[in-house]
Amino acid sequence: MSVALSPESWLCPPGWAGIVTLDGAILATVPGPELIEPLQEALAGQVGEAGIDLAQFPATLPVLSVLGPATLAYLDDGDFAAAHTDAQVERLPAGHHDVRALLASVEEQDAEESGLEEIASMAFVIRKGQDVIAAAGYRPWLDIAAHLSVLTVAEHRGRGMARAVASAAVADALANRLVPQWRARPEPSRRVARALGFRELGSQISLQFGW
The 8-class DSSP code of residue 122 comes to P
Give the C-alpha separation, 172 to 58, whole Å: 37
Q: Residue 42: is its pLDDT beyond 70? A: yes
Domains of the chain, by residue range, sit at 2-70+203-209, 74-201
Per-residue pLDDT, averaged over 35-46, amounts to 84
| pLDDT in the model for residue 55 | 76
Give the C-alpha separation, 140 to 173, whole Å: 9
| pLDDT in the model for residue 49 | 59
| pLDDT in the model for residue 23 | 78
CATH code for residues 74-201: 3.40.630.30
| pLDDT in the model for residue 58 | 67
The model's confidence at residue 121, banded by pLDDT at 50, 70 and 90, is very high
Closest CA to 124 of 84, 158, 96: 96
Q: Residue 125: is its pLDDT beyond 70? A: yes
Give the C-alpha separation, 166 to 83, whole Å: 9
Per-residue pLDDT, averaged over 137-164, amounts to 93
Q: Residue 211: is its pLDDT beyond 70? A: no
Per-residue pLDDT, averaged over 108-123, amounts to 92
| pLDDT in the model for residue 48 | 66
| pLDDT in the model for residue 122 | 97
Per-residue pLDDT, averaged over 30-53, amounts to 81
Give the C-alpha separation, 211 to 200, whole Å: 32
For residue 29, which amino acid is it? T
* pLDDT: which is higher, 99 or 69: 99
| pLDDT in the model for residue 61 | 76
pLDDT in tens, 172-194: 999 999 999 999 888 889 999 99
**Least confident span in 19-23, 51-55, 128-132:** 51-55
User: 198 with 182: CB under 8 angstroms?
Assistant: yes
Give the C-alpha separation, 35 to 17, whole Å: 9
Mean pLDDT score across all residues of the chain: 89
